[in-house]
Amino acid sequence: MIRTREQLELQERAVLAPCAQKSGDSIGRAHPEPRHPHRTEYQRDRARIIHSRAFRRLEYKTQVFLNGTGDHLRTRLTHTFEVANVTRAIARSLALNEDLAEAIALAHDLGHPPFGHSGEETLDVLMRGHGGFDHNAQSLRIVDVVESRYPEFPGLNLSHEVREGLQKHAKFYEDAGGAYSQPSLEAQIANLADEITYYSHDLDDGLDFKLLDLEQLESLAAWTEAAAEVRRHFPKLKGRDFRAYVIRCIIDRQVADVVATSAALITKAGVKSVADVRQYPKPLIAYSRPLLKANQQLRRFLYKNLYYHPRVADANQHACVMLGDVFKAYLKDPRLLGRSTSSRVEKDGIHRTVCDYISGMTDRYLLDEHARLFPEGAKGALAAARLRG
């Protein structure tokens, strides 16, 4: 039996919480379109994101370790799927809209440039005086402008609610009714699920790459509590199996904490609608205070011992020198961008057009482009070879 969109929307109204965002109540899209006969608005958004070129390129973009340096290390794409999985789990437990929450999670890292946070910092420096660069803002720009898949409009023309969820760290949001202070609960979930996922899995990758060891982790509350639980239930578990199961327990404990804490906050706040959520003065999806403190400790530890570890930072710095070389070459000769991209220079300016183009590159493509533009650069070629392992 074929279910219609109207039936799916009725099902949402029957089973989701009053403060959940219903797809039938979507504010809509910047460019009006007829609604789909068999899919809700957020199911359409999810499909548009997954079928975008920017999404496919995440497979070859750095998470922490440069892409290609290890078969089991995470990329932006695997990280994105992990965030989407945690997001759906939390949304389901709180009777919120899983489709909306997942769509936001799937799009949240589309704006990341090659070479991870080092690449982002490099682009921000190169764009000083020209609007800077922030991967969150770039994710929104990609779905609004850069992706070109439809003849009727630029971008993916996503719904207001998904676009709202991509405006992370915004001071306020706006719709036709005016300004408001918080995004939907589904957007708040995607934001927190991102933290849960990258803290835990970056820790996992750091152990796997032997940049971290178990002795270092004994000072971390998030690790010691989960490790104690694993030893209690599986006293014979050792080595990699032990580490992997501790990471699994860290994530499980964090998801359970967020669900319980958020349910209590929502009840206490007395929000009865999405409008109530948007006007509430602070987020309602949150960690408990002890877990927030443990995560802040874990974050400080990862920045000190992993993200700026010489084996990570040195490789990223070499790569970012090449990113800067390519950026400056495009500024000097915009014809190198190709006809379709260079046609945007008049409207967006040369710096923003170059920034859009480079931020969309994969690690591998930027290295190849550097080799093409600077064939005489022996140092660059040597660095590229070293980065490829």
Domain ranges in the chain?
41-167+183-387
Q: In the prediction, which pLDDT does 67 show?
A: 54
User: Average pLDDT for residues 234-241, to the nearest whole number?
Assistant: 93
Q: Lowest-pLDDT range, 13-22, 70-79, 160-169, 288-297?
A: 70-79
Q: In the prediction, which pLDDT does 389 show?
A: 43
Selection from 19, 99, 22 nearest residue 266 by Cα: 19
Q: In the prediction, which pLDDT does 149 show?
A: 86
12, pLDDT greater than 80: yes
Q: In the prediction, which pLDDT does 187 show?
A: 97
227, pLDDT greater than 70: yes
Cα separation of 167 and 174, whole Å? 11
Q: In the prediction, which pLDDT does 316 show?
A: 77
260, pLDDT greater than 50: yes
Q: In the prediction, which pLDDT does 72 show?
A: 56
Predicted confidence (pLDDT) per residue in 118-128, tens digit: 899 999 999 99
* CATH number, domain 41-167+183-387: 1.10.3210.10
Predicted confidence (pLDDT) per residue in 302-359, tens digit: 999 988 888 777 777 888 999 999 999 999 999 999 888 888 899 999 999 999 999 9
Q: In the prediction, which pLDDT does 381 show?
A: 46
Chain mean pLDDT for the chain:
91
Identify whether the C-beta of residue 22 lies closer than 8 Å to the C-beta of residue 13.
yes
Predicted confidence (pLDDT) per residue in 272-281, tens digit: 999 999 999 9
Q: In the prediction, which pLDDT does 377 show?
A: 64
SS3 62: strand
User: Average pLDDT for residues 129-156, to the nearest whole number?
Assistant: 94
Selection from 255, 299, 316 nearest residue 86 by Cα: 255
**pLDDT > 70 fraction of the chain, expressed in percent and rounded:** 93
Strands (E), 204-340: none
Residue 178, φ and ψ in degrees, nearest 5: 120, -160
SS (H, E, C) 205-220: HHHHCCCCCHHHHCCC
Q: In the prediction, which pLDDT does 29 show?
A: 96
Q: In the prediction, which pLDDT does 318 show?
A: 85
User: Average pLDDT for residues 273-292, to the nearest whole number?
Assistant: 96
Q: For residue 148, what are the β-bridge partners? A: 155
Q: What DSSP designation does 111 have? A: T
